[in-house]
Amino acid sequence: MRRGGALQALLALALAVGFLGSAQALRFDSRQRLKIVQAADIHFGEDGDADHATSQLLRDVLAAEQPDLVSGYAIPAANLVERVRLRMDAASLSGSWHEQQWRQLTAPLHEAGVPWAAILGNHDGEADLSRREVMALDAATGGSLSLSQSGPATLSGAGNYWLDVLEPGNSSQVAARLWSCVGGDIVEWVRQQAALLPRVPSLAFVHIPIPQFSEAWSSGAPANGTKGEETGCPLDDTGLFEVAKEFGIHSIYSGHDHDNDFAVELDGVRLAYGRKTGFGGYGPFSVQHGARVIELRMGEDTARSATWIRQQDGSQVFQQPVQEPRPHRQAGCPSIEGSCDKLLGPKMCLQLRGMRNGAEAAGALLASLVVLALTVVAGIVASRHALQHMRRRHGWRRLEAATAAKAHSPDAEV
């Protein structure tokens, strides 16, 4: 399969959830617990050996934790030519390159019978399907195990939704809520929805860390875990943190930075990275691959939920205090991609990103134009063909009619 370079293969988050009373509802078990495995930055589809290792790790984690799973996913950034080719090959969801990858990725979940909720990362719309098509693919192939939802079409990104967790034994009593948030414009939507819903302990999964991850780390707030690279948070603070505080979303879990797995607490909200699960893409360099496990207890503030990391070698890490002085203190969010900053400095990277975004937009436009042009050419060829065919048939009919007429009147000339 295609190999993605370290820069191409940045990220995506995956989550999986389990212990369901019924296929459609998440429910606390009789011990009033719900265990979530956060599979982050899966980076599937870049390399067959890496995919094999990722599937094996998923199987091992599911066997060890027997969780209620939440899962994420990443498709590598294909180059423009590849994207156009994949797009043209994909006549429909079924039979797409993406579908093959998706079926392989979710196989361990199907084997374990563990339901999942997918949240897309920044690479998931880069192969042969759009983000909305990826979510539709998940719904179409996941059966009752997929709890993923596309969310409102008016919001940017696909996969903005929430899942309620019910009390054991009472299907109308909501006891906790999981949010999956993708776009930057979702904050107002979260506020509006949360205001209408019963107030219960809640948590959120986002792929890209919000600016408070770096702010809290740099301020010296209580933290555990590793910071191997800069926090690749967006430059703009969308205000999600304030909304989370207001509506009892007291923990936010992210992925995106492959070499960070720290958890930090700010104003009563836990901000925590998952551990990178996928073997595609770069890193992690300072720790093993693995997955974060979160155990919700009914009625408990989610900032206090038990959490640990299940590693590739089967060991569990209950987060250790951080080393002081803290590495990678940052003033704000210099970039989405911290690795560039490390190499070239934030200023240069900002300029490069501007150029790259411009180039990507131009590339996407060009790709659409190429596809449009090819469609038009194909349409013209097809219609000319049809026209010729009709003319030929028409011609034959005239000839037949004339021949028939001639047969009936021997004097007639053809």
Whole-number minimum distance, CB 247 to ligand NAG, in Å?
19
Pick between residue 141 and residue 319 the one whose CB is nearest to ligand NAG: 319
Pick between residue 240 and residue 263 the one whose CB is nearest to ligand NAG: 263
Q: Which is it for the CA torsion 318, 321, 323, 328, positive or negative?
A: positive
Pick between residue 41 and residue 261 the one whose CB is nearest to ligand NAG: 261
Whole-number minimum distance, CB 306 to ligand NAG, in Å?
8
Whole-number minimum distance, CB 168 to ligand NAG, in Å?
11
How far is residue 341's CA from residue 77's CA, in Å, rounded to a whole number?
20
Whole-number minimum distance, CB 104 to ligand NAG, in Å?
34
**AA letter at 186:** I
Comparing C-alpha atoms, which of 178, 129, 177, 131 is closest to residue 158? Answer: 131
How far is residue 233's CA from residue 225's CA, in Å, rounded to a whole number?
18
Whole-number minimum distance, CB 326 to ligand NAG, in Å?
13
Pick between residue 58 and residue 175 the one whose CB is nearest to ligand NAG: 175
Comparing C-alpha atoms, which of 292, 322, 290 is closest to residue 306? Answer: 292
Comparing C-alpha atoms, which of 74, 83, 81, 184 is closest to residue 124? Answer: 74
How far is residue 397's CA from residue 28's CA, in Å, rounded to a whole number?
75
Cα–Cα distances in Å, from 219 out to 213, 222, 226, 332, 341? Answer: 10, 9, 16, 11, 21
Whole-number minimum distance, CB 319 to ligand NAG, in Å?
5
Phi, psi at residue 203, to the nearest 5°?
-140, 160
Pick between residue 304 and residue 356 the one whose CB is nearest to ligand NAG: 304
How far is residue 342's CA from residue 330's CA, in Å, rounded to a whole number?
12
Pick between residue 182 and residue 223 the one whose CB is nearest to ligand NAG: 223
Pick between residue 114 and residue 263 the one whose CB is nearest to ligand NAG: 263
Residues that bind ligand NAG (CB under 6 A): 170, 172-173, 222-224, 263-265, 270, 318-319
Whole-number minimum distance, CB 216 to ligand NAG, in Å?
9
β-strands 14-18, 33-39: how paired?
Answer: antiparallel
Pick between residue 261 and residue 265 the one whose CB is nearest to ligand NAG: 265
Whole-number minimum distance, CB 135 to ligand NAG, in Å?
30
**96 Cβ partners below 8 Å, 6+ apart?**
86, 89, 90, 128, 129, 137
Whole-number minimum distance, CB 300 to ligand NAG, in Å?
13
Pick between residue 173 and residue 383 the one whose CB is nearest to ligand NAG: 173
Q: What is the DSSP string of 34-91?
A: EEEEEEB---TTS-HHHHHHHHHHHHHHHHHH--EEEEEE------HHHHHHHHHH-S
Comparing C-alpha atoms, which of 6, 107, 3 is closest to residue 48? Answer: 3
Pick between residue 127 and residue 252 the one whose CB is nearest to ligand NAG: 252
Whole-number minimum distance, CB 314 to ligand NAG, in Å?
20
Q: What is the DSSP string of 182-218?
A: -STT-HHHHHHHHHHS----EEEEESSPPTHHHHHHH
Pick between residue 169 and residue 395 the one whose CB is nearest to ligand NAG: 169
SS (H, E, C) 329-390: CCCCCCCCCHHHHHHHCHHHHHHHHHHHHHHHHHHHHHHHHHHHHHHHHHHHHHHHHHHHHH
Whole-number minimum distance, CB 317 to ligand NAG, in Å?
10
